[in-house]
Structure 1
Amino acid sequence: MPCLTGCPKRPFAARRPLIGALCAVASSDVPLGRAGSPSPDDARGAPGRSGRERAGRVGLPGVTDLPGVTDLLAAAVTAIGGAERAGQVSMAQAVQRAIETGEHLAVQAGTGTGKSLAYLVPAVRHAMTEGATVVVSTATIALQRQLIDRDLPRLAQALEPILGRPPVFAILKGRRNYLCLQRLRTGAPDDPAEALFDPRSVSAVGRQVQRLHEWAETTVTGDRDELVPGVPAQAWSQVSVTARECVGAQRCSFAAHCYAELARAEAGQADIVVTNHALLAIDALEDFDVLPEHDVVIIDEAHDLVDRVTSVASDELSAPAAEIAARRCGRMIEQKSAERLREAGEAAGRVLAVIPPGRMDILAEDVAASLAFLRDAAGGCAAELRAIARNSEDDPERIAARRSALAALDELHGAADRILEAFGPEIAARPDVVWMDRPAGEEPSRPPTLRVAPLEVGTLLAARLFSRRTVVLTSATLALGGSFEPLARQWGLWRAPETAGPAETRHRSPGSAGPESAGPESAGPESAGP
């Protein structure tokens, strides 16, 4: 069972190696380091204290009398009707050790190891004894459902007689995954991107939206994943909002019944919170909290972490995006400002139409001029809209329309500005890469799009995730050729080895790896988005 442990996470803790281990029947540890200490002025606060601790809630009384992880795992396996597996026990012990020492841990555990149970048992014990919250992140909806619908309910039932109460668990997703009652009532801006290219799609979207209105009468959670079969993105966007588009609890007349806020409140009281890699990345990279305060993160399906974080840290720009932004703000600002944005979008469309697909290492003058025009036009509209907002007190519907327009304008301005900044003098020193993405065939719903993404996210992960939390990374496929080094480098957790031996190699890293998990593998093709 390959394992990686390593970087310090607790305040003022000494740096430790990240450890990597292959978990099968036997295990070997490869220390890598502990998580680093957050800066004293970190606005997010020091790790190690849960939101429930800050609210005055603490762990279970008599915590020193609780059985150890090995005994709890045995009790859970017996109650569930399973059999003890050496790899599962080794993994649970490694996870517990990582939690106790603050070291990061990476574990490769193949199908049949019992990976989920191996990380959930030490996670539950830590959460309930410390009054803390442990976040479990997955890449796919299938594994989220497995954890929430099967693994955690069975584990809670099995451990309740020993722990004195059942562990509390919850699932939390990005706001866009929940039905918005405000948008359901007022409707979305009349500008679904697909309708700009294929008017025939409007009637199909309308039928799906009608289905969503019917579903809204019966849903308890407002969670999009309840819908089987699901609906396309353009239909869902008519009844949901992003975080930027939300009018806020203080101004929304549906705040008391908001599905997204209810899910957050439930997660705030949970011992174990299940989420997805995208929301985990947003929580780590942004300067505001999305997830409840937590001190341990367990990343299952960790082989997909880098791709999901890269996606969250990426931007895109297309001519239709400019048209949508102009339409959203057109009725709220001076017409000449909105018209200038439309002209900038049309000019950008003509330029983008002739850019060949693939990576762009050189920014042509006409492309640069078009992007600058678009950036300035979007920025001007956004500034004008914000000035209007400061001098008016509108009803929630007008506020929602304004926030929707601002979200589109800010995304457009940010993408254009980032692309312009991406072309530094030295190609090798550029942190971002830009490329033209265009459909292979005649796909009118997919316009030519400029995309920009970080070349690597390891630096971000090391600074914003591994330095603040104890992290456990696990998957059936982590090691390449028996080594964790390729993925550890991508995670930002690899440094030149200090010593090397036949069974163990130690490395220094800015972050530290946490507990591992063992449980039946179940990963479907669906990916879990923010």
Structure 2
Amino acid sequence: MKSDSPAENNSIEKILTQLGSYLSDYKPRPGQVQMAEAVAQAIAKHENLVVEGGTGIGKSMAYLIPALLSVVEQAARVLIATSHKPLQDQIGKKDLPLLELLFKKQGYAPFTYVTLKGISNYLCWQSADNEQGKIAINELADKAVRYARKEGDNFSGDFEDLPFNLPPESRALLSANNEDCLGGRCPQREQCYALRIRRKAEQSSVVITNHSLLSLDIRSEGAIIPGKFNTYIIDEGHNFEDNATKANSLQITIGACRRFINSDIVRRSSIVNSQRFENAQQNLERLQTAVAALFVRSPDAKFQDFEDENKVLLKNELPAGRELAESIKDLVALVRDLMLRTEEESARSLRIQRQGANLVERLSKISVIADPNLVYYAERTFPGGGPTFSGPRNQGRGAGSGGAPAYALYGMPISVAGYLEGWFAENNVIVTSATLSDGQSFDFFTKQVGMKNPVTLTVPSPFNYKEQVRLFLPQSNSSFGQGWKPLAESIAQLLSVADGRALVLFTSHAALEGVWRLLSGPTILGQNELRDVPGRRVFKQGESQMSWIITEFQATEKGVIFGTRSWWQGVDLPGMAMVIMDKLPFPQLNDPIVKARSENIEGAGGNSFKDFMLPSAIITFRQGFGRLMRKEDDRGVVVICDERIVQKSYGRRFLKSLPEVVTLENLQKVAQFYTKGGF
């Protein structure tokens, strides 16, 4: 696929060649040139393009260079949306500064760029004023405020730009969100970092943002991201549908309602009418009791996985939710009637009114379960970011050391294709990822997001998978009906052979916790498999933040990570020696959104397994496989501990979706592969 402009092709190749002068590990890649030329043609012809680019081809440079050429030669504006912040930072802090230098040396006109994040990513001075008492006793929040005041205009306001890590509880004291931000009515508007970055984005020729903001901007017809754009580039596109679904969902937590009711201004306002305050408290407890009751199951109830117990479909209206919405509306009226003397107090009042009005709107919509395009469900979570366990499987679930559960209510779109379809039709959009197809076609992805008849391109990875990667399919280790011991035994043996540097991927928290408990005691190979191996450090999802685990893992030679869904993708850990998958990653059958989408497909005469479950699982499977080889010299084994991959006919679809690799017959062959490779 060639661009209509030979001069543009020459410019692309020339700039790519120059990269070698600035990047010591850069090598010319034919696939990168091929992708860059395809992007250039799509921009020139105003066509939509879907590119699956294998790991290692250099996708970001392949789309940035032709996009920037359209900026400097045609005064175009380009928006780039990613799923994860690390890629945002790579583009905004490494790739674009380098290309800015290269373009300048080539004699091109300068271009401007900015990274635009959601409002909660920036320090809010109004929040800092409102929470002075709490900030004073929160060391890191106080440190952030002092740093921002000292740096003045040299600080962007982005929490990620602080010279130290700010944990979520500290950020919460210093940030605003779309529900309570006062915008131009805020007394701190002249010092507002979020407004400042929006003004900069309006004047920039390139804006880097995330999938969620782009999705909200599409839904609001351009009200979120300032200005119009000639070209949109969606990287990490395999996540776009999921992020668009979440961004356009209704959500409310019992905790948010409780914080509103117990806020200082609401309590002060309620002095004149204490009955309204008491009614709100009572209705809040009624709602919590009603939601908690949804999770009560008979002793003989059967669930496939722990997650099934933590999401419950809402089939009937929630009268307690409507009553709480009315109580909050009454409290908002009291706050509005309270006479406040200063601008600062008025700002606090306006902010709490906005919070209350938003709670009322969401509670009212979710409680009546009226929109047929949404699936409504309740979810419970536990402190620490995930489920907790105590005792044997099927006993004491959720009642471990994690403490009392928290509850949330959702109204989630069954499909986002409807509102995205028109946007794709009207705009020039390039979507890229390492995994957009199910190994056969792009039809599943394009249908899910409403993309009609795009140009498609597959660019294979330049890595030598046949020489450097092995596939191992151990038998008789499935946990189906056997508990977790067979799987735990296999993992223990595999970790011993690989000597660490492993990522163990689970499809459920139940499997992770079950295997973890077994490996934490001297019951598998006669020792504590996780702790008693010299030099080995083992990290478990939920025990610490993901970013901390990644940093610590990179600092050790024999690290092992146990993770669930969030670790199957978007994690870049060069030097990994083994990736273990406990099962084929099919969507959870009892997940409300999965169930609703499956029913929609069946209702339209389709086959939900073939049309939805299988392609979705294959794409996630390919993402998990891709965690192993991140650089050209990486080498290792991918292990799939699920007999269905060889016993079921659809197993061939999974295997055919992978690059050509050699399959090993037994554990001895795995050990020999590591020995010969000099591990």
The answer to whether the superposition gives a TM-score over 0.5 is: yes
| Equivalent runs, 1:233-272 vs 2, <5 Å | 233-252=168-187, 254-272=188-206
Q: Residue 311 of structure 1 aligns to a residue in which SS?
A: helix
Q: Residue 262 of structure 2 aligns to a residue in which SS?
A: helix
- Out of 211, 219, 222, the position equivalent to 2:143 is 211
Which residue number corresponds to residue 121 of structure 2?
Answer: 177
Which residue number corresponds to residue 433 of structure 1?
Answer: 376
Q: Residue 441 of structure 2 aligns to a residue in which SS?
A: coil
Deviation at 1:235, TM superposition (A): 1.3
Q: 1:247 to 1:462 in 2, by over 3 A?
A: same
Contact 1:136 1:299 (8 Å CA) reproduced: yes
Deviation at 1:404, TM superposition (A): 3.2
Which residue number corresponds to residue 466 of structure 1?
Answer: 424
Contact 1:118 1:517 (8 Å CA) reproduced: no
Contact 2:72 2:108 (8 Å CA) reproduced: no
Contact 2:294 2:312 (8 Å CA) reproduced: no
Structure 2 residue 369 is the aligned partner of structure 1 residue 422: yes
Please give the per-residue CA displacement for 1:414-436, whole angstroms capped at 9, x wherever unaligned.
Answer: 33222234357xxxx55323233
Please give the per-residue CA displacement for 1:43-86, whole angstroms capped at 9, x wherever unaligned.
Answer: xxxxxxxxxxxxxxxxxxxxx9x984322222222222144432
- Out of 415, 430, 450, the position equivalent to 2:409 is 450
Which residue number corresponds to residue 476 of structure 1?
Answer: 434
AA partner of residue 444 (structure 2): P
Contact 2:115 2:208 (8 Å CA) reproduced: yes
Q: 1:303 to 1:173 in 2, by over 3 A?
A: same
Which residue number corresponds to residue 102 of structure 1?
Answer: 46
Structure of higher CA gyration radius: 2
Contact 1:246 1:400 (8 Å CA) reproduced: no
AA partner of residue 258 (structure 1): C
TM-score by length of 1: 0.71
Contact 1:116 1:519 (8 Å CA) reproduced: no
- Out of 350, 360, 381, the position equivalent to 1:413 is 360
Contact 1:157 1:166 (8 Å CA) reproduced: no
- Out of 240, 243, 248, the position equivalent to 1:313 is 248
Partners in 1 of 2:332 and 2:458 — Cα distance? 46
Q: What is the CA RMSD across the aligned residues, in angstroms?
A: 3.4
| Equivalent runs, 1:28-107 vs 2, <5 Å | 68-81=7-20, 82-107=26-51
Residues matched between the structures, number: 425
Which residue number corresponds to residue 211 of structure 2?
Answer: 277
**Which has a greater percent of helix?**
2
Please give the per-residue CA displacement for 1:456-502, whole angstroms capped at 9, x wherever unaligned.
Answer: 22223224x424432111011111123111111111125xxxxxxxx
Contact 1:115 1:518 (8 Å CA) reproduced: no
- Out of 312, 319, 322, the position equivalent to 1:372 is 322
Partners in 1 of 2:370 and 2:184 — Cα distance? 40
Partners in 2 of 1:519 and 1:260 — Cα distance? 39
- Out of 257, 260, 267, the position equivalent to 1:330 is 267
Contact 1:116 1:520 (8 Å CA) reproduced: no
Q: 1:139 to 1:85 in 2, by over 3 A?
A: same
Partners in 2 of 1:79 and 1:467 — Cα distance? 36
Q: 1:248 to 1:412 in 2, by over 3 A?
A: closer
Q: 1:227 to 1:96 in 2, by over 3 A?
A: same
AA partner of residue 184 (structure 2): A
Structure 1: which 5+ runs fail to align? 1-26, 29-63, 191-201, 495-506
Which residue number corresponds to residue 11 of structure 1?
Answer: none
Q: Residue 291 of structure 1 aligns to a residue in which SS?
A: coil
Partners in 2 of 1:136 and 1:516 — Cα distance? 20
Q: 1:157 to 1:516 in 2, by over 3 A?
A: farther
Partners in 1 of 2:458 and 2:110 — Cα distance? 22
Deviation at 1:384, TM superposition (A): 5.3
Contact 2:366 2:411 (8 Å CA) reproduced: yes
Deviation at 1:150, TM superposition (A): 1.4
Which residue number corresponds to residue 397 of structure 1?
Answer: 344
- Of 342-351 and 352-361, more deviation after overlay is shown by 352-361
Deviation at 1:399, TM superposition (A): 3.4
Please give the per-residue CA displacement for 1:214-262, whole angstroms capped at 9, x wherever unaligned.
Answer: 332345111111235522222112112113322333542x433322122
AA partner of residue 143 (structure 2): R
AA partner of residue 480 (structure 1): D
- Out of 336, 339, 344, the position equivalent to 2:278 is 339
- Of 169-178 and 396-405, more deviation after overlay is shown by 396-405
Partners in 2 of 1:277 and 1:106 — Cα distance? 16
Contact 1:372 1:417 (8 Å CA) reproduced: yes
Q: Percent identity?
A: 25
Structure scoring higher RCO (CA < 8 A, sep ≥ 6) equals: 1
Deviation at 1:263, TM superposition (A): 1.4
Partners in 2 of 1:395 and 1:513 — Cα distance? 59
Q: Residue 256 of structure 2 aligns to a residue in which SS?
A: helix
Q: 1:174 to 1:438 in 2, by over 3 A?
A: closer
